[in-house]
Chains A and B, each alone.
Chain A
Amino acid sequence: MRLNYPSNVKIIKVPCTGKVDVIHLLQAFERGADGVYIAGCLEGDCHFLRGNLRARKRVEYTKRLLDEIGIGGERLQMYNMSAAQGPRFAEVAREMTERIMTLGPNPIRAKKGEAEMETG
């Protein structure tokens, strides 16, 4: 199956979404990501039983933290899909890209850009 999805999506592979910790998500935003989403296996299908459920809880916690920081929790999202759902993967990539386009760039990067413009 050859499917197109937006080229701005950078994929980071992890053995299980249960490996993703709050600090990993924060550091992505700290380094300028405009949005992050986690694609976990379908609920109930985790090879490690609860990896994707724990990831969801960490995403919820990090969303609140991003709100506190002022970056906005809506830039982070948890999705569940199986390895056989290629079209769903492409759909989610488009959905998230559209959401981020509406929200605009990560405010940190926007600020850094400004500073560079001033000094440059």
Chain B
Amino acid sequence: MKEKKIIDTATFDWTIIVIYAIMVLFGWFNIYSASWNESAGSIFDLSKNYGKQFLFICISAFIAIFWMFLDYKLFNIFSYTVYFLLIALVISVFVIGKEVAGNKNWIAIGSFNLQPAEFAKYGVSLALAKFLGTPDARLSDKFTFRISVLIFLLPMILILLQKDTGSALVFLSFFLVLYREGLSGVWFIIALCSVIIFVLTLYFGNIWVSGVFAAIALLFYIFSSRKKYLTIPVLLITLAVTGFSSSINLIMDHVLKEHQKKRILVTFGLLEDLKKEGYNVHQSKIAIGSGGLLGKGYLQGTQTKLRYVPEQHTDFIFCTIGEEWGWVGSMTIIILFVVLISRVYYLAERQKNRFNRIFAYCVASILFFHFTINIGMAIGLVPVIGIPLPFFSYGGSSLIGFTILLFTLIRLDSTRSTEMSTLKDMY
């Protein structure tokens, strides 16, 4: 037993740790740059964003080290406990939450604001890993599927109620985990088709989309040799597409809020609104686009420094990178993320323990979602959804949340050689 307690640092995945360290430090420098002006003092100035970020980095580093030496069994054992505690924390926002810009999703602790939504993802990951990690759990079983979905839908709805749409949408990334665990790919194809129909309808109007689709379906049916079997499916699909397409205007007008609708229209170039809903993205594109191949140089960015891009140190931190480090810098970030996420997916697959594997999938999927949405919105490919860029954006909750996620994974991964024996202990 004594031998097991000694932790072999060689078992940690150093690739991830190094990428993490690079990202956090580079992020910190960029936050400094984003808030910098001629009179800016030391990067450690605690009264400023960058000083606070330094503090968060120290806390994160401490947590990271602490987590690496934590008994890995604890994650499994306390997964539901952590999940429910964090759900309770999310709920507490309704009671003791602090309203910031109309959204009630912060809890003030001293001079710091805690954002429970950033931690809820961790709870969900643990709970989902635990629930689906039991040897006999099968997603094909309706009950199992429903509970799994409920696990991440519960916090998602709670956060939606707190009007934090961005953080809530992140929970959709758990569908990727379900996909890996057996959820039919058809759903993703349907989702993808819905998006395509949605976009086409926005561009051409529901009459054209329905008409053209119906015509194609008819042609397909006429030239098909097995009409008998196809009659009903083709009819149903055509009906579904026509119905969905026709309902888009209703959804746009009545379900979505005005600003959400506008953001979508702006993203697809159907609305020019450079002053309000389109302002952020337009300015963001200007900042990034003016960076050129090699960038304007560290602390030399004008657009970010002169505050043309709102929230440049949080959700739009990528602008600073794009402007000051150019395409080369942006590419470095993209590559780091691609390597990191792929690496986590790769690690996930080499886990022999289902709990570990599912947890790893959760981590990768959350990172994937954040990466896609955050950078996508900064470069105008995705509608503006306010979520941070992991490890880069300013904010203690987000940084610490991601650190815990990542280092739990590193800790779990480091045990894969000894997991068989531990499994016996567990069950």
Q: Do A and B actually bind?
A: no
Q: Interface residues, chain B, CB within 8 Å of chain A?
A: none
